[in-house]
Structure 1
Amino acid sequence: MRTEQTRQVVEKYFSSLENGDLDSALALLAPDVEFDLPRDEWNSVIPYLGQHRGVDAVRKAFAVRAETTEVLDYALRGLRADGDTAFATIYTRAAHTRTGTEFEILDSHEMVVDDSGRIARWKVYFDPNGEIAAFTSDADERLIAASWKGDRETVSEVLRFGADVDHRDPESGLTALMIAAGRADAPLTDLLVARGADVLTADSGAGATALHKACQGGSLDVVRSLVEAGAFVDAVAPTTGHTPLMDALWYKFPEVAKYLLDAGAGLNLSTHYGFSLKEHFAYELNVNTVGKDRLLLAEKYLNERIASDDERAAAQWLMTAVTAGDVGSVRELLANGAEADEVFPIVGGFNDGHTPLLVAARDGHTEIARLLLDAGADVNATEPTFGAVPLHKAVYNGHVELTRTIAGWPGVNLDFQGATNGYTPLHDALWHGYEECARAVVDAGARLDLVGHDGKTPLDLAAEVFGDHPLTALIRAKS
């Protein structure tokens, strides 16, 4: 008898829901009914999930669901009762009201009917993934819309729901980070950077980076955040040839320009329409009538940087001696306390950003390199253009004795992969056909399994360059 009563109550309850008669359904619930839906991190996505206590709370949960979900099909697929407990299987096909995305759910309901014939406890079990996917299917679009509005709360929410932080606005080709940077929105920029937004990628229209957009927006805080996150100070837009510094000058933001100048932005770069940076700036000075005071301040900063570069370059006696191959002067300067790892300023020359050891390795000054290493020079120093270390420089130019010296130096990284092509020093030695340099690096213990950006291992290059050769056989035997 009790089992039959339970079955009838539950069957009537779901029949009322299927017919859209919510009031009749709720009348079958006990006043203090306990209604439990899955409760986890997705409650913020599907707002009616969780625990509900009392008929009013259940009614509210149904109201929230009605706001977010359009039920297209609802049916009782199975029902079994045992004493005061019933187990029902419900099929639902619905669509999320905002996204329009449809989903299906087959859920299981455990319901306990009390002595008065009302449902006192109701627990639902189901896989929410389909519904979550429907609720979040527009996350990428919402990310872009929220970024344009500066709505950090929504940006944070949709990123938590799985939005692609690097999704592009289909109209402008901008990522959310580019939008935030262009709008000079420092807090949103920081949020996106913290969530892994790509600071290096370029927009699909002009090829400009987020740092270019930040120089248009004029926020020093945004520019600083992007540079500290690894943005290239000298990124070049492929359509114009503009660097971020050129844009900072163009849009008349002198303090942004000063920051980039202090960060080492290059001064001897040119636009793709024939202007050098200095000519570009001179043109801006000539054609602007509004905000000229800001341009003049930027000119002051620019001239100070030029003077500073000239002074720094002139003061680098050690680099001058290394470049000239003057062993005696190098020895004397080091003995008098010259900084072995001084870095040459970015002036648009072959030594830009190099330490003396990098230059010595490149130019084949073996004795000078030993003096620098003995003085504590960093054997793994990198230069900014190709991301190469001294050992790359030595093998690339075929300096055998110098290669042996550096490859055997304590702490050397034999397997450093350059940023430009992913080649190790061994790759470079093989690529350029320097057999003895390659042997020296192999003998020093270089790894043979590393792959360049072209997918080639040292063995691939050895076979390609040397063919059927003892060096190729050696590398194959050691691989």
Structure 2
Amino acid sequence: MGPTERAQCPCKKVPIRFSSFTSAEFGDLHSLSRIGPKVVDQLDAGGYTPLHLAAQNNQATATAYLLILGADVDGRIRTDSRTVTAASQRQCGATPLHRAAYSGAVSCMRILLEWTDPNSGRRCDVLAKDTSFGDGMTPLHKAASGGRFLGVQLLLDALKKRSFLHLGLGALDVQGRTPLEVAREMGLKQEEEKSSVR
């Protein structure tokens, strides 16, 4: 097949369209902009919004764009009164900050931590407990459990700026562990793994 035949291939004429979730995950602003503002209140099968996926995958531009479109910084969705109950049962128990903290997506963590909703003045909940896995971890716990040093530092700075440092350091997960204890356990596990390979 020559170059002219390839150029006329029907597959070249098929527009590629991603779902809002795939677009957020891969930072495809073109697709997100075509979907428009309705994108912010959609949930995938796991109860995640596009903002969760953009933040988790460190897609900083997509994260900022979704917030500007009106996405709730904590990943809650707005629905009419008839669907509130059904939608809230489908939502995951993690915030976008939890997902970004665990995956070490520092750029998105910074965006989420600095965002203030222009309409309500709300900011992200730095002390929110993750109920999706039943662990009750805060974003600081998540960053510590993932071994994300820069994420931990960023969260400590944010907690200090908001005068929540003592609350953040003293927060307990469902096992009764503070973020420091989670970090210590993570360090011990890493040492065990290193010594088992030697």
Q: Deviation at 1:244?
A: 0.5
2:65 and 2:39 map into 1 onto residues whose CA distance is 14
Q: Which residue number in structure 2 is paired with residue 234 of structure 1?
A: 127
Given that residues 201 and 209 in structure 1 are in contact (C-alpha distance below 8 angstroms), is that contact kept between their aligned partners in structure 2? yes
Please say if residues 246 and 277 of structure 1, whose CA atoms lie closer than 8 Å, have aligned partners that are also in contact: yes
- Equivalent residue for 2:186, pick from 267, 284, 290: 284
3-state SS of 2:170 partner: coil
In the TM superposition, residue 288 of structure 1 has moved relative to its aligned partner by 1.7
Q: What is the alpha-carbon distance in structure 2 between the residues aligned to residue 250 and residue 290 of structure 1?
A: 15
- State how far apart, in whole Å, the 1-side matches of 2:110 and 2:22 are: 25
List per-residue Cα deviations over 1:271-300 (Å, max 9, x = no partner): 1123232322221111124999xxxxxxxx
User: For residue 66 of structure 2, what is the aligned residue in structure 1?
Assistant: 192
Change (3 A) 1:237 1:258: same
Tell me the distance in 2 between the aligned counterparts of 1:290 and 1:192. 41
CA shift for structure 1 position 206? 4.8
1:143 aligned onto 2:20 = yes
Offset of 1:147 from its aligned partner? 1.8
The TM-score, its normalising length taken from structure 2, stands at 0.68
**CA offsets per residue over residues 370-400 of structure 1, 9 Å max, x none?**
xxxxxxxxxxxxxxxxxxxxxxxxxxxxxxx
Cα distance change on mapping 1:195 and 1:205 into 2, 3 Å: closer
Equivalent residues in 2 for 1:381-460 (5 A)? none
Query: Which consecutive residues of structure 2, in runs of 5 or more, have no partner in the other structure?
Result: 1-12, 77-87, 116-122, 160-164
Kindly indicate whether structure 1 or structure 2 has the higher relative contact order, using CA contacts under 8 Å at least 6 residues apart: 2
Asked if 1:158 corresponds to 2:31, the answer is no
Larger fraction in helix:
2
Relative to structure 1, is the Cα distance of residues 234 and 145 closer, same or farther in structure 2, using a 3 angstrom cutoff?
same
Alpha-carbon distance change, 153 to 290 in structure 1, aligned in 2, over 3 angstroms: farther
SS at match of 1:163: helix
Opposite residue 201 of structure 1, the aligned amino acid is G
1:342-357 maps to which residues of 2 (within 5 A)?
none
Residue in 2 aligned with 1:261? 156
The unaligned stretches of length 5 or more in structure 1 are 1-66, 69-97, 99-138, 293-479
2:95 aligned residue (209, 213, 229) = 209
Alignment partners' CA distance in 2, 1:219 and 1:277: 18
| TM-score for both structures, normalised by structure 1 | 0.30
SS class of match (2:124): coil
CA distance in 2, matches of 1:291, 1:179: 30
Name the SS for the 1:164 alignment partner: helix
Judging by fraction of residues, say which structure has more strand: 1
**In the TM superposition, what are the counterparts of 1:166-177 in structure 2 within 5 Å?**
166-169=41-44, 171-177=45-51
Match of 1:183 in 2: 57
Aligned length: 153
SS at match of 1:199: coil
CA distance in 2, matches of 1:234, 1:220: 17
How high is the sequence identity, in percent, across the aligned residues?
29
The answer (yes or no) to whether the contact 2:23–2:32 under 8 Å persists in 1 is yes
